[in-house]
Structure 1
């Protein structure tokens, strides 16, 4: 596995606000390691740039810290959900690589 690359499985969930945003919550061990690696290099709102693969779909986005969940959350856009036939509560196998962190 490449440096600063993480693999995990997490369920897809729907944000409870007005918008129909879908997210995955990163496991605590992955969050802890990303925190250590990026503590002095985060962007706006504490975001971290990542390249993500779910199934056959790869895209670049950002993960964001979520104080309520004490973890990072990963937004999953509609095009990815459609391409991979994902619905709320789907278990997603994720490959996540940090972007711009010496990969």
Structure 2
């Protein structure tokens, strides 16, 4: 499978500390790009990721898969304190739904 840098998860946000826009890539959390405009920040981080991928290929390093290319089961386990578990069970029962449905609803908001 050939990875392309435009399949990664990019985000541009304002950085109050730097007083510039910052381009970020979720799959490469150590990378960022500062620019005066959101468009330039996105262009910069995409180019940075492209260069890093080329370097990683040259060094036979494992390249992260884009989040969008991964398959998700819809399941994950979360451990909570017993008191929280009990309160969730009470709230779910009072709402007439399962704990799973209650927590899923809350996470999706």
Structure (1 or 2) with the greater helix fraction? 2
* RCO higher in structure (CA 8 A, sep ≥6): 1
TM-score (norm 2): 0.30
TM-score (norm 1): 0.31
